[in-house]
Amino acid sequence: MAKAAKTAIKKDPKSAAEAKNYSKVIKAVRSPKTGAYTFKEQMVHKDKVKDFLAQK
């Protein structure tokens, strides 16, 4: 599956440039009910990573 994504990026240089502006951010969120941690994953623009991590 990763090979298909690399192939798609190589074919369209404009998409490759835009894709480099995004990061996958993983945030650990603690459940108030059980106390267990869950993980929230999201693709975020590189300028908004701190905003994503700051929100509850």
> Which residue has better confidence, 55 or 5?
55
Give the three-class secondary structure for 25.
strand
Q: In the numeric block, which tokens belong to residue 33? A: 């009910």
Say how far apart CA 31 and CA 9 lie, in whole Å.
38
Instruction: Quote the pTM value.
Output: 0.59
pLDDT of residue 2: 54
For residue 12, report the phi and psi dihedrals to the nearest 5 degrees: -120, 100
State the amino acid at position 39 in one-letter form: F
Summarize pLDDT for 5-54 with one digit per residue, the tens. Answer: 555 556 677 777 778 899 999 999 999 999 999 999 999 999 999 998 89
CB atoms within 10 A of CB 23: 13
Say how far apart CA 47 and CA 23 lie, in whole Å.
10
